[in-house]
Amino acid sequence: MSYRLDLDDIQGNVARAYGRYSYPFARYMFFNISHAAKGRAFVNDLLPYVTTAARWPKPEDKPPCTLNVGFTFMGLYRLQLSNRVLQGMPEEFIAGMKDRAFLLGDRDQTVPESALGKWDKHWDQIWQDNRCIDNDHDVHVWISLNAQRKLSADNSHKDLNPKDPLLKVVEPVDDLARMTQTLRDLCDSNGGVRLIEGNGASGTDPWHDAQAVFDQIDGLWLPTPREHFGFTDGIGDPVFAGQLPAKEERERVVGRGKRMGSKDNGGWQPLNPGEFILGHPDEAQELPPSAHPPEFMRNGSFMAYRKLHENVATFRRTVSDEAARYARVQGISQEEADVTLRAKMVGRWPDGIPLAAAPTHAKWMDMRKAEGFEADTAMARFAAQIAYLDKPEAANFRYANDMQGYKTPLGAHMRRVNTRDYLDPLNATDAKADNPEATTALNKRRRIMRRGLPYGTLPADQQTDETEQGVTMMILCASLFRQFEFIQQQWIQYGLDFHQGNDTCPLLGNHEHHKRMAIPADPASGTCPYTMSRLDTVVECRGGDYFFIPSITALRAIAMGVVDPT
For residue range 352-366, list pLDDT tens digits in order. 999 999 999 999 999
Answer whether residue 536 shows pLDDT above 60: yes
Q: For residues 20-29, give the mean pLDDT.
A: 94
Average pLDDT, the chain: 92
Answer whether residue 438 shows pLDDT above 90: no
Distance of CA 321 to the CA centre of its chain: 29
Residues 6 or more apart whose CB falls under 8 angstroms from that of 391 comprise none
Q: What is the percent of the chain with per-residue pLDDT over 90, rounded to a whole number? A: 80
pLDDT at 107: 85
Residues 216-258: pLDDT tens digits?
A: 998 899 999 999 999 999 898 999 999 999 999 999 999 999 9
Q: 3-class DSSP state for residue 180?
A: helix
Residues 246-303: pLDDT tens digits?
A: 999 999 999 999 998 777 888 899 999 999 999 999 999 999 888 999 999 999 999 9
Classify residue 145 as exposed, middle or buried by CB count within 10 Å of its CB (0-12, 13-18, 19+).
buried
Which amino acid is it at 318? T
Residues 166-220: pLDDT tens digits?
A: 777 889 999 999 999 999 999 999 999 999 998 988 888 999 999 999 999 988 9
Taking CA 19 as the corner, what is the angle to CA 17 and CA 20, rounded to the nearest 5 degrees?
75
Which amino acid is it at 414? M
pLDDT at 1: 46
Cβ–Cβ < 8 Å for 541, 104: yes
**DSSP category for residue 272:** P
Residues 28-76: pLDDT tens digits?
A: 999 999 999 999 999 999 999 999 999 998 888 899 999 999 999 999 9
pLDDT at 265: 83
**DSSP category for residue 483:** I
Answer whether residue 566 shows pLDDT above 70: no
Taking CA 13 as the corner, what is the angle to CA 205 and CA 564, rounded to the nearest 5 degrees?
95
pLDDT at 323: 97
